[in-house]
Amino acid sequence: MSEADRAPAFRPLYRQVREALIQRLIDGAWTPGMMLPSEFQIAAELGVSQGTVRKALDAMAAEHLLVRRQGRGTFVALPEEGRILFQFFRLAADDGTRLFPESQVIERQREAAGAAAEMLQIEASAEVWRIGRIRRLGGRPVIAEEIVLPLARFASLAEFPDLPNNVYALYSEHFAITIGRAVERLKATAADEATAAQLGCPVGHPILSIERVAFALDGTPVEWRVSRCLTDGFHYQADLR
């Protein structure tokens, strides 16, 4: 953390601290659920003041990377935790209750990336997993989902025949990949024959199509997915501030 570090394009100390700490998450030195050293310990270790460490930790907590609990300590966020769980899942029933449908994998294959290559920033010839799954609420299929993952980062995925509802917990636990950010594009489309068959609705039925690219902590894209959702009885919720 030398003075020279900020010479070329001034980067505040607390920014550098934040990046150093994020690197520990990327490296796996700090794993989900782990309690971090106290602010004073981190400060002493990095040779900065406690206030500077606090500013870095606060920023990371705002990004949902850490969870701070007064009186207890600072912890690496778990993908299982409530607010994290729904951070990336914004469907809710029309009465306001949050939903988390059950998942059933119906298809999984290795293939060339093709069209997904651009989204995942890999070669079109690179291999990917393509996973199709149906998600149900009370037995009724409501989402038909297609997930594409680069084989290079998910080599041992074959060991997991049935995906859990929350795949980001799987990514974290078994592939040491933490999703830090995602971008979604929503469109209204008409159900094609395949989707209609999967969701049990008429061909041409209105479908909310959600296309998502999810990024790892280092900023590289690691997942591309399309969710085709029925939206009677529930909706996609967005809070604008």
Partner DNA sequence: AAGTGGTCTAGACCACAAG
Partner DNA sequence: TTGTGGTCTAGACCACTTT
Residues contributing to the site for DNA (CB under 7 A): 6, 10, 12-15, 36, 38-41, 48-52, 54-55, 57-58, 68-74
Question: Of these, 35, 112, 183, 197, which contacts a second copy (CB under 8 A)?
Answer: 183
Shortest distance, position 207 Cβ to a second copy, whole Å: 5
Query: Rounded to whole angstroms, how far apart are CA atoms 223 and 127?
Result: 13
Q: What is the 3 state secondary structure string of 9-63?
A: CCCCHHHHHHHHHHHHHHHCCCCCCCECCCHHHHHHHHCCCHHHHHHHHHHHHHC
Backbone angles phi, psi at 234, to 5 degrees: -145, 175
Q: What are the Cα distances from residue 149, in Å, to 12, 45, 130, 154, 215?
A: 36, 38, 7, 7, 12
Determine if 190 is a binding residue for a second copy (CB under 8 A).
yes
Give the binding range for a second copy (CB under 8 A) out of 73-81, 109-117, 137-145, 229-237.
Answer: 229-237
Contact 198, 134 (CB under 8 A): yes
Q: Give the three-state DSSP class for 199.
A: helix
Shortest distance, position 156 Cβ to a second copy, whole Å: 27
Shortest distance, position 86 Cβ to DNA, whole Å: 21
Determine if 180 is a binding residue for a second copy (CB under 8 A).
yes
- Do β-strands 102-112 and 91-93 pair in parallel, antiparallel, or remain unpaired? unpaired
Determine if 207 is a binding residue for a second copy (CB under 8 A).
yes
Residue 181: contacted member of DNA, a second copy, none (CB under 5 to 8 Å, by partner type)? a second copy
Determine if 236 is a binding residue for a second copy (CB under 8 A).
yes
**Closer Cβ to DNA, 13 or 216, answer by number:** 13
